[in-house]
Structure 1
Amino acid sequence: MTALVFLDADVSTGRIANAATAQLSVLDQGVTRGDGIFESMLYTKGVVRKIDAHLARLRVSASTCDLILPHEERWRAAISTAVAAFDAATPSDEAVVKLVATRGPEGTSEGTCWVMVSAAAESGRLQRENGVSVMLLDRGYDSRAAERAPWLLMGAKTLSYAVNMAALRHAKKQGVDEVIFTSSDGIVLEGPTSTVLLAHRDGDIKRLITPTLETGILPGTTQGAIFEAARAAGWELGYGPLTPEHLMDADGVWLVSSIRLLAPVNSIDGTTLTLDRELHAELTAMVNNIA
């Protein structure tokens, strides 16, 4: 069961709708052009995790895309309504709370906004527990493209995910679980639906590194929360630029996202990677404590 709540202007707590029946105009530009933004949050143990960070990133994406959003309190009210409806019908250990905002039907000035809550796919838990095999794919632009061409919206979480999904389908056809994109000039970027993390241990010094945001990648909310916890635990932190060689030489590489959480990378392009089990256990504990 999927709980669906629209943010109608005249319903302060959100309008509950039937997700199994038609609800969206075929003229909505989110459908016809992928012109919109979204966020996905994990709902578990009665808590929507990192809701503040996701709402903040939604606002940034909206600003980047010149979209006007409802007030944050209306989003929070709609989320509460959707979560309550989901719990009443199909309680689940893990669920996905998805926020969507489009530019609305063509010829109008009003956008369409809604919240969906549905059970999380089993694949996320399995990748978290078992890790993933990865292939590197060229994203098709160099690492300075975001700086030169802001209209590419590279730092926004938009609905235009066709390329991301095509990359994952390509990986599956090659017998691989996941993808890490690289720029055409050889810089590590991100996964289609994840952020890349790597770690090094040098004696008592533990270092956590993620690709630099200057390449136009999406700022990861889970990566940000892990960095905060790692800083408090005394880890050193760093931001790229990273190359594939850095991944191969690390003591651990992970793909992190809000639903999958922390998935260790077992191999890249067929080469088995090292995984420091102690570092993995520490990072897993940090992720599990994120509110």
Structure 2
Amino acid sequence: MPTTALAILNRPSLAAPAHREGAPDFELVDVDAPQVRVLDLGVTRGDGVFETISVGDGHPQALAAHIRRFAKSAAALDMPEPDPVVWEAAVRAAADALDPAHETYVKTVMTRGLEGDGRPTGWAYASHAPDHMRARTEGIRVVRLDRGYRHDVAQTSPWLLAGSKTLSYAVNRAVLREAARRDADDVVFVSSDGYLLEGSTSSLLLRFGDRLVTPGLDLGILPGTTQGDLFAFAETQGLSTEYALLGADELLEADAAWLVSSVRHAAPIRSVDGIARPVDSDFSAAVNSYLISRTE
């Protein structure tokens, strides 16, 4: 069995015509063969949305939450609503087509398609996951970078699509190159008026005593599916959870901090702007064990 798989959707949305009438909802195709037209708006303009779903021992994790966020991002771009039934089936089929592995992932992508055509393009790509064990155990170094927006950008300028998971990821990649230039592994975005936001592709969690805190979802940041599951887990461990408006310096004041995401899971922050920070190894191990073992 392969280490990668690809499902192409025939009708990504019930609100748009199928690409081939009478054909199956999706089909598994050759990963190495050409599949996307060069004039697809996802290619030429980054006009589309995506999700990345962790798969543990063959079980897609937080799949329903990912599909809901996928639809929310599509709505923000005025794209047709993804058909949740077909997308979920495509995700499971792509994941099942892989050679069995402890950790894999599926990336769903829906673009606006060809300009004027009215039919979105959609696919689900599955692969074995990279080895993130070192980041989970030893931790990562982060730098704080100004995102260039106020913390209330989602209310003042909704057309900037803050909080939507779009294909326009050039900035998210550029900040990682800047982090490397500063001898760091990742970034924590800070609003132009001084509030903590999120990582380049992750949610931020801080622990103060027995309280686990993340920046509020009204700050133009992506609502984290992994963060949501971690809040539920933390409450079973006797921790309280909270969404809050956090100043930039609170990252240095926290007892511990993590960047959490679907595939890397929970990476403890071991330094901020070159300043060493404590790593809660026991809680990190418990969190990652929980995340990897989820069955849904």
Q: TM-score of the superposition, structure 2-length normalised?
A: 0.91
In 1: Cα distance, 2:98 partner to 2:154 partner: 39
In 2: Cα distance, 1:94 partner to 1:278 partner: 21
Q: What is the deviation of 1:106?
A: 1.3
Secondary structure, in 3 states, of the residue corresponding to 2:269?
strand
In 2: Cα distance, 1:11 partner to 1:42 partner: 29
Contact 1:195 1:220 (C-alpha < 8 Å) held by counterparts: yes
Contact 2:54 2:61 (C-alpha < 8 Å) held by counterparts: yes
Q: What is the deviation of 1:290?
A: 3.3
The question of 1:260 aligning with 2:268 is answered no
1:95 alignment counterpart: 104
The question of 1:239 aligning with 2:243 is answered yes
In 2: Cα distance, 1:11 partner to 1:128 partner: 43
The question of 1:14 aligning with 2:26 is answered yes
1:106 alignment counterpart: 115
1:4 alignment counterpart: 6
The question of 1:151 aligning with 2:121 is answered no
Residues 1:172 and 1:83: Cα distance change in structure 2 (over 3 Å): same
The question of 1:177 aligning with 2:185 is answered yes
Residues 1:151 and 1:174: Cα distance change in structure 2 (over 3 Å): same
Deviations 1:223-243 (A, max 9, x none): 001111222333211112112
Judge which range, 253-262 or 222-231, deviates more: 222-231
Amino acid at match of 2:280: D
1:45 alignment counterpart: 57
In 1: Cα distance, 2:139 partner to 2:227 partner: 17
What RMSD, in angstroms, separates the aligned Cα atoms of the two structures?
A: 1.6
In 2: Cα distance, 1:143 partner to 1:285 partner: 33
Judge which range, 178-187 or 44-53, deviates more: 44-53
In 2: Cα distance, 1:216 partner to 1:35 partner: 19
In 2: Cα distance, 1:221 partner to 1:263 partner: 15
Question: How many percent of aligned residue pairs carry the same amino acid?
Answer: 42
From 14, 35, 39, the equivalent of 2:47 is: 35
Q: What is the deviation of 1:282?
A: 4.3
Deviations 1:1-50 (A, max 9, x none): 42111111344451112121211001111111111000001112121111
Secondary structure, in 3 states, of the residue corresponding to 2:122?
strand
Q: TM-score of the superposition, structure 1-length normalised?
A: 0.92
In 1: Cα distance, 2:118 partner to 2:102 partner: 39
Residues 1:143 and 1:211: Cα distance change in structure 2 (over 3 Å): same
The question of 1:188 aligning with 2:230 is answered no
Amino acid at match of 1:75: W
Contact 2:56 2:292 (C-alpha < 8 Å) held by counterparts: no
In 1: Cα distance, 2:65 partner to 2:25 partner: 21
Judge which range, 230-239 or 126-135, deviates more: 230-239
In 1: Cα distance, 2:181 partner to 2:267 partner: 21
Judge which range, 46-55 or 10-19, deviates more: 10-19
Amino acid at match of 2:157: A
1:136 alignment counterpart: 144
Judge which range, 130-139 or 244-253, deviates more: 244-253
In 1: Cα distance, 2:231 partner to 2:200 partner: 21
Contact 1:254 1:264 (C-alpha < 8 Å) held by counterparts: yes
Equivalent residue runs for 1:81-92 within 5 Å: 81-87=93-99, 91-92=100-101
